[in-house]
Amino acid sequence: MDIEKMGHTGVNGGRSGDLHCTVRLVLENPIQQGRGSSNNRSDNNQFESKKSTPNTTSNTKEEATGVVQITFPEAVLGGRVQVVTPKGEVVVSIPAGTSSGRRLRIKEKGADDGDYIVTVHIVVPTDLDGESVRLIQEFADRNPLSPR
């Protein structure tokens, strides 16, 4: 998706560039879908953390993997979230500055006393009011970043 004139300001006062967005959908674990709602987020609070969805399909016998969804503020500022592992729920610290795709190891909480690996996915709100958009733009202006 391309949004004209919503990118960074041009060099030497040039026009703003275009914003290029890539959207990737992450589907819930199909095993979880038939058991009622696995969405732990309240419709009224788009910033409430979701618990991880365990995926006990292992890359090796000792290592199980899953996904934990966090909010943009949790990714930037850090936080603590509950993660469901094959050995039960644990609280995991999210380091400040965490990016999507980061893998966190939880020792001895996987299958057969192996480690459990969770991959972080950042979930952002979709319905923003004008003031929120202004604040995020101000944040982007104050914290320039070019990940490409």
pLDDT, tens only, 30-42: 444 333 333 443 3
Nearest to 81 by CA among 107, 47, 58: 47
| Residue 136's CATH number | 2.60.260.20
Domain-embedded: residue 107: yes
Our count of domains for the chain comes to 1
Which residues contact residue 37 at a Cβ distance below 8 angstroms, ignoring those fewer than 6 apart?
Answer: none
Which residues contact residue 27 at a Cβ distance below 8 angstroms, ignoring those fewer than 6 apart?
Answer: none
Weakest-pLDDT range from 97-101, 111-115, 130-134: 111-115
Domain carrying residue 89 = 40-142
Domain-embedded: residue 20: no
In this prediction, residue 94 carries a pLDDT of 96
CB 142 within 8 A of CB 135: no
Domain-embedded: residue 89: yes
Domain-embedded: residue 105: yes
Six token digits for residue 142: 């104050």
